[in-house]
Amino acid sequence: MKMDFFRKRSFKYGSYSVVMTVVVIAVIVMVNVILGFSGISKRLRFDITRNKMFSISQQSIDMVKSLDRDVEIFILSSESSYSNIMVKEVVNQYVVHGNGRVIGPRYVDLDKDPTFISKNFDPDQVKGINTGDIVVRSGKNMRVLNNQDFMEVSYDYYGGAQVTGLKVEQAFTSAIRSVTAEKTATVYFVSGHGEYKSDELSQLKTTLTLNNYNVETLTLTSPVPGEVDVLFFPSPTSDLLGSELENLLAFLERGGDAVFLFDVQSTIQQLPNFNDAFSRYSLQLNYDLVNEFSQANYLKENWMIRPMVYMTDVTKHLNPDQLFIYLPMSRSIGLLSENKQNLEISPLFGTTDNSTSVDLNTGAQRFGPFLLGALSELEIGLNNHSRIALVGNCTFITDDYISELGDNGSRYIVSILNWMQERTDEVLVPAKSLERPPLNMTQQSRVLVFFLLTAVIPLVIIGTGLFVWIRRKNL
Amino acid sequence: MLAILRRDFRSYFNSPIAYVLIGLFICIMSLFFVDSLNAGVANFSSNFISSMSFMLLFIVPILTMRSFSEDKKSGTEVLLLTSPVRLSQVVLGKYLAATAVFLVLTAVSLVFPLVLLIYGKPDGATLFSAYLGFILLGMVFISVGVFASSLTENQIVAAIITFVSLFTLTSFSYIGSYVGGLVGKVLNWLAFMEKYYEFSAGIIDITSIIFMLSFAVVFVFLTVRILERKRWSQG
């Protein structure tokens, strides 16, 4: 009886059919699994968007190809719930071009492994790493990125925020450079002279961190430590003490660099010690307020100056036409006539001929053009130099200003620091613009398109169908 | 195979079904499209992109419900099964006929990028990629619909099976994120909608193209097996 069943034609066909089905499906699944889960799949993806939204620049490719140590990328989210397609694609590009040095992305679901952060990144849980953050790690160095780091935000006249660009590549390239760097330069924000407080410059500090600078604070009451690379003075309003001047000069004389930003003072207080330091670089801080009258170079008020940007080592990587800044209430910078052979001065920002300044001490008026910012480099012995930047405005890098008029100023500061640190190969990756192609439609053409698409075309198609059907029915 | 393709394709256009489907598709999609024009951008909005795929959940079951069910009901199925034509050619002919109707529908929908082209400068490559994703998604869905149609002689049942299957398929990424583990990974791997959204963003992934075509091949093959079983079970 049993033997009859096995000899039956239906059993033969049935078993043949089942085996064949299983084999065919298994082969197809295998092919797809091999393609999908191997490294090949990452190389078979092509970004065909017009502005290469999901691709990284040649600079980043070169940087990642030259890595000599492993970099791991952790995305602190389950793979299925992480939806930032641009981050996924950009990380993919680093992995593809990283010659095996860039490992990841490794998705970590913190709901399933809640102790992962404390075990791997932050035993004391003080770094504020959260779900959705991305950790870039190389050895003991790590950098945490979050969605804020990926967005370029611009603000309209009324203070409304709008995401205008994506800087995913910028953030990852910077993070990879930072965690693989032999040494990360540290910028020390000096306090003790009425400078802007730390929480008034938080956006600038974030930008500096994103560009591989550590940010610390310092007072000049004791000698400047050897590990300090750059001193940053965010608009001191009172002068240096004698001992502080000595400490500053000692730092500069051993090749230290410094950035000085000064707003227009509300009190008529002279800053002779600061000017003493500047005089060594043939620069001088004036006690005035500059007004611009050339219509293309101010915004609404004559004191809201859009400065002319001079081509220097600082600005040659930037595009001043797009990276325009406004300097609200600026003071001018003077050049001392003293001619020093070991000194090189470059103008950074300036006004047009059609500008004036009012001396806050005497009320005397002078006529432009004026310098609003300058760079000075002093040779100190063989292969050593000290560089300073002096700008007659600091408001343009404060959080309040940035929230109203954008953070282009931070890019100039980063570029100044890169010049000081001689980061000649620095990758200045521009943000990917989110500007989308506009549609030039009048209200009339909008109505026309609406009727054409929702009524005329569908009715013509359905009408044709009915005509064909009725005609065939009556044949 | 070509004869079957031609016969089925003509039958779609000899009845009002293809016209009504295309007309309704264009009409409904136009509402989403015109709404997206308000953004003043010469590109498909994400809302429009997801609406296109959502519409397929309704279009495909109606398009494919009669592929085999009609033959079963009218009794021509026996003729097909006993004809000298290979079953794979029969299935492929019917599948390609439904796909051809879908391609006609897709071609008519090119009126949307045409409007963008007239009034702006859209990113042509991204639009091409979005349409490639849409066509691949349609091909996958149609293969499921043809398979469902081979299971029953009732067109309504075939349409319901197709709709439920497609709805489940499109929910894989959601289900996968809840389930997690190996099952979650497999479901995410099978998530067509994620692949479709990648295409619509302007990313062309060769492995996704192979995957979607493979999926369609598997369902066409399964349909052949179903008919094969009927052929030998009927003697």
The ranges assigned to domains in chain B are 2-233
ipTM: 0.87
pLDDT top residue among A143 and B60: B60
Q: CB distance B207–A458 less than 8 Å? A: no
pLDDT higher than 90, residue B177: no
Residue of A nearest to B31 (CA): A454
| pLDDT, average across residues A198-222 | 85
Q: CB distance B218–A28 less than 8 Å? A: yes
Report pLDDT digits (tens) over B89-142: 989 999 999 999 999 999 999 999 999 999 988 999 999 999 999 999 999 999
pLDDT band for A268, please (50, 70, 90 cuts). low
Helix (H) or strand (E) holding A163: strand A161-166
pLDDT higher than 70, residue A385: yes
| pLDDT, average across residues B42-62 | 91
For residues A333 and A392, the answer to whether their CB atoms sit within 8 Å is yes
pLDDT band for A127, please (50, 70, 90 cuts). low
Q: Which of A159-163, A416-420, B117-121 has the lowest mean pLDDT?
A: A159-163
Q: Which fold has domain A186-420?
A: Rossmann fold (3.40.50)
Number of other CB atoms surrounding residue A193 within 10 Å = 20
Q: Which residues of B are less than 8 Å from A466 in CB distance?
A: 16, 19
pLDDT higher than 80, residue B43: yes
Rounded to whole angstroms, the Cα distance separating A198 from A382 reads: 37
Rounded to whole angstroms, the Cα distance separating A396 from A261 reads: 10
> Where do the structural domains in chain A lie, given as residue ranges?
2-38, 47-145, 186-420, 441-475
Phi (first) and psi of residue B157, to 5 degrees: -60, -40
Q: CB distance A465–B23 less than 8 Å? A: yes
Which of A198-212, A400-414, B191-205 shows the highest mean pLDDT? B191-205
pLDDT higher than 80, residue B77: no
Give percent above pLDDT 90 in chain B: 54
For residues A442 and B40, the answer to whether their CB atoms sit within 8 Å is no
pLDDT band for A27, please (50, 70, 90 cuts). very high
pLDDT higher than 90, residue B23: yes
pLDDT higher than 60, residue A426: no
Q: CB distance B26–A464 less than 8 Å? A: no
How far A157 CA lies from chain B's nearest CA (Å)?
21
| pLDDT, average across residues A22-51 | 85
Q: CB distance B34–A450 less than 8 Å? A: yes
**CATH (one of 3.40.30.10, 3.40.190.80, 3.40.640.10, 3.40.50.2000) for A47-145:** 3.40.30.10
Give percent above pLDDT 70 in chain A: 90
* Chain B residues 13-52 within an 8 A CB cutoff of chain A: 13-20, 22-24, 26-27, 30-31, 33-34, 37, 40-43
Q: CB distance B205–A46 less than 8 Å? A: yes
Query: Alpha-carbon torsion B172, B175, B178, B182, what sign?
Result: negative
* Chain B residues 95-114 within an 8 A CB cutoff of chain A: 108, 111-112
Confidence at residue A3, expressed as pLDDT on a 0 to 100 scale: 56
Query: The tokens 């170079």 sit on which residue?
Result: A297
